[in-house]
C-alpha cells in the first residue's frame, strides 16, 4: 500500500446538486487499482459460451459428448435444463462447463457428468431449495448470497469464524449426522446462487465467492472444508468465476496446503488473496461499495435488497496525511438529507456539519469529530435543514501514512 509523510494537505470535493452522488472529478484510486489488478490478479478468463468462439476441437468435443451422453444415459436434465435434444441453448452452457473442467477430454467429462447426475438424484439437489433445514441462525453470517460484482455475477460470502466457539462447533459438526446436515445446507445456499444464473451464451453464468478466514478454526474444520471443496468441485464445475479470500492470516499457507490437492490448476487461477486490514481495498476492485456488506467496509446492510436496487455510491481515495471534505451544496430549507459514508479500515477522524448559505448564519455540528476504529461499519445518518445551505462531510487522515479507499452516497428529500 502506498504511503506518504503526513502533511496538512486538504482535498475538497464539492457536490453542486443534491439529486445525485457523482464521482469526484479527480481520477479515483479505485480506478487505478482496477487497472493494476489486470496485471496482479490471476490470468483467468471466463468463457463466453458462444459456440462461434469455440475452437474446432472444442466444438467437436461438445458434439461427441452429446452423442455419448445420449447413447450411454439418455435424456436428462440439470437445474431444470434439458441436456439433450438441441431444444435449449442453455444445455450447451452446462455441457461446456463439464468439458472445460476436464480440459475437453470427452471420456473424463462424460464420467464427471454422469457421476454428477447420479449424485444430484441421490442427494435430492433439485428439491433442496424447498427444504427448511433449520439453519436460520447461520443465514446472513456463515454462508449467504448478497449483491453482485462489477460484472453482475451473484456474490456468495462465507465466514466460518463463529465456529471458533466450541458450543457452536459441536452444535453443527459434533457428529456425522450434523456434518451431513450442514453440507446439505451449504449446497442449498449454493443452489440459491445458481438459480440466479442465466446459463446463456454471453450471460452471467457463474458466481463470485468471498471467503473470510478471520478466526476460522483451521484444524477443527479440516474435515468439513475437504468435504465442501470435494463436493463443489465434483458437482459444480466452472460455477465460480473468482474466489476471493479476505482477512487471510499468516498461517494461510498451511491451510492452503490442506485443500490445495483437491483443487484443479484452473480453480487455483481464480484465487485472489487479501491480507487482514486490506478487505475493502480488495473487494472494491471487484464489487461496487453499495454491494459490499457493511462488515467488510461497504454500504450494503441486511434487508437492503427488499427496497429494490441500491443507490449507487461515489468512490474516492484518501492519501496518507490528507483531509477530505465532501461538500454537498444546493440543499434547500425544509429538506432532509440522508447519507452513508465509509472508509476502508477507518482509523481516522470523521465529522459532519451543516453550513447555512445566509451570511452570518451559524454552522451546525451535525456529527462532532470522532475517531473511527478499524472495525466500525458505515455511517448512516440524516439531517433536516431549516434553511438553505450545504452539508460538509470530513474525513481526516492526516495522522496516518496509509492510503485508504472510501465511498459515500446521499439522497435529499424536499419538503412537500
| Tens of pLDDT, residues 23-61 | 443 333 333 333 333 333 445 678 899 999 999 999 999
pLDDT higher than threshold 60 for residue 143: yes
| Tens of pLDDT, residues 144-189 | 999 999 999 999 999 999 999 999 999 999 889 999 999 999 999 9
Using CB atoms within 10 A of its CB, is residue 275 exposed (0-12), middle (13-18) or buried (19+)? middle
pLDDT higher than threshold 60 for residue 213: yes
Listed range (11-20, 119-128, 159-168, 313-322) with the worst mean pLDDT: 11-20
Q: Determine the average pLDDT of the residues in 187-206.
A: 97
| Tens of pLDDT, residues 268-310 | 788 898 888 889 999 999 999 999 999 999 999 988 877 888 9
HSE-CB of 414 using CA atoms within 13 angstroms: 8
Helix, strand, coil shares of the chain, percent, nearest 5, are: 35, 25, 40
CB 201 within 8 A of CB 150: no
Q: What share of the chain in percent tops pLDDT 90?
A: 69
Query: What residues pair up with 242 in beta bridges, in sequence order?
Result: 208
* Distance between CA atoms of residues 180 and 122, nearest Å: 13
| Tens of pLDDT, residues 297-351 | 999 998 887 788 899 999 999 999 999 999 999 999 999 999 999 999 999 999 9
Q: Determine the average pLDDT of the residues in 217-242.
A: 88
Listed range (101-115, 208-222, 369-383) with the worst mean pLDDT: 208-222
pLDDT at 14: 64
In DSSP notation, 51-83 reads GGGS-HHHHHHHHHHHHHHHHHT-S-EETTEE-
Q: Determine the average pLDDT of the residues in 2-27.
A: 44
How is residue 99 written as a grid cell?
468439458
* Distance between CA atoms of residues 12 and 409, nearest Å: 16
Coil, strand or helix: which one is 406?
Answer: strand
Query: Considering all CA atoms of the chain, what is the largest pairwise distance in Å, rounded to the nearest integer?
Result: 87
pLDDT higher than threshold 80 for residue 202: yes
pLDDT at 269: 81
pLDDT at 6: 30
pLDDT at 188: 97
pLDDT higher than threshold 70 for residue 19: no
* Distance between CA atoms of residues 149 and 288, nearest Å: 7
* Distance between CA atoms of residues 214 and 142, nearest Å: 12
Q: Determine the average pLDDT of the residues in 99-108.
A: 96
Q: How far is CA 106 from the centre of its chain?
A: 34
Mean of per-residue pLDDT scores for the chain: 87
pLDDT higher than threshold 80 for residue 416: no
* Distance between CA atoms of residues 239 and 208, nearest Å: 9
pLDDT at 400: 93
pLDDT at 29: 31
In DSSP notation, 232-253 reads HHHHSTT-EEEEEEEEE-TTHH
> Please, what is the Cα angle at 305 between 239 and 214, to 5 degrees?
60
- CB neighbours of 126 closer than 8 A, spacing ≥ 6? 79, 80, 120
* Distance between CA atoms of residues 391 and 357, nearest Å: 11
The residue written with cell numbers 458434439 in the block is 63
pLDDT at 44: 67
Amino acid at each position: 500500500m502506498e504511503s506518504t509523510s503526513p502533511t496538512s494537505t486538504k482535498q475538497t470535493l464539492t457536490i453542486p446538486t443534491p439529486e445525485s452522488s457523482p464521482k469526484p472529478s479527480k481520477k479515483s484510486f479505485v480506478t487505478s487499482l482496477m487497472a493494476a489488478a489486470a496485471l496482479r490478479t490471476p490470468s483467468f478468463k471466463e468463457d463466453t459460451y458462444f459456440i462461434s468462439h469455440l475452437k474446432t476441437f472444442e466444438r467437436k468435443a461438445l458434439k461427441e459428448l452429446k452423442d455419448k451422453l445420449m447413447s450411454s444415459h439418455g435424456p436428462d436434465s440439470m437445474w431444470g435444463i434439458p441436456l439433450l435434444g438441441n431444444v435449449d441453448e442453455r444445455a450447451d452452457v452446462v455441457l461446456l462447463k463439464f468439458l472445460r473442467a476436464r480440459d475437453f477430454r470427452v471420456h473424463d467429462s462424460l464420467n464427471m457428468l454422469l457421476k454428477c447426475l447420479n449424485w444430484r438424484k441421490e442427494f435430492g439437489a433439485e428439491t433442496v431449495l424447498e427444504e427448511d433445514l433449520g439453519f436460520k441462525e447461520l443465514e446472513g453470517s456463515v454462508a449467504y448470497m448478497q449483491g453482485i460484482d462489477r460484472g453482475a455475477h451473484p456474490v456468495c460470502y462465507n465466514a466460518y469464524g463463529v465456529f471458533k466457539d466450541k458450543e457452536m462447533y459441536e452444535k453443527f459438526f459434533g457428529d456425522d449426522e450434523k456434518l451431513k446436515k450442514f453440507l446439505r445446507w451449504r449446497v442449498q445456499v449454493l443452489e440459491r446462487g445458481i438459480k440466479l444464473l442465466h446459463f446463456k451464451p454471453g450471460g452471467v453464468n457463474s458466481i463470485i465467492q468471498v471467503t473470510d478466514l478471520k478466526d476460522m478454526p483451521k484444524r477443527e474444520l479440516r474435515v468439513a472444508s475437504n468435504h465442501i471443496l470435494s463436493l463443489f468441485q465434483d458437482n459444480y464445475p466452472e460455477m465460480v468465476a473468482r474466489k476471493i479470500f479476505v482477512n487471510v492470516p499468516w498461517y494461510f499457507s498451511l491451510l492452503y496446503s490442506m485443500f490445495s490437492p483437491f483443487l484443479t490448476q484452473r480453480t487455483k487461477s481464480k484465487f485472489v488473496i487479501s491480507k487482514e486490514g486490506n478487505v475493502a481495498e480488495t473487494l472494491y476492485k471487484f464489487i461496487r461499495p453499495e454491494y459490499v456488506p457493511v462488515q467488510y467496509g461497504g454500504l450494503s446492510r441486511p434487508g437492503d435488497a427488499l427496497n429494490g436496487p441500491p443507490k449507487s455510491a461515489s468512490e474516492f481515495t484518501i492519501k496518507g496525511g490528507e483531509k477530505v471534505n465532501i461538500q454537498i451544496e444546493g440543499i434547500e430549507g425544509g429538506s432532509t438529507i440522508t447519507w452513508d459514508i465509509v472508509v476502508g479500515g477507518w482509523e481516522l477522524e470523521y465529522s459532519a456539519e451543516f453550513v447555512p448559505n445566509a451570511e452570518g448564519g451559524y454552522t451546525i455540528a451535525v456529527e462532532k469529530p470522532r475517531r473511527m476504529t478499524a472495525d466500525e461499519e458505515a455511517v448512516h445518518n440524516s439531517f433536516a435543514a431549516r434553511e438553505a445551505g450545504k452539508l460538509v462531510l470530513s474525513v481526516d487522515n492526516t495522522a496516518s501514512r496509509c492510503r485508504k479507499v472510501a465511498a459515500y452516497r446521499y439522497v435529499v428529500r424536499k419538503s412537500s
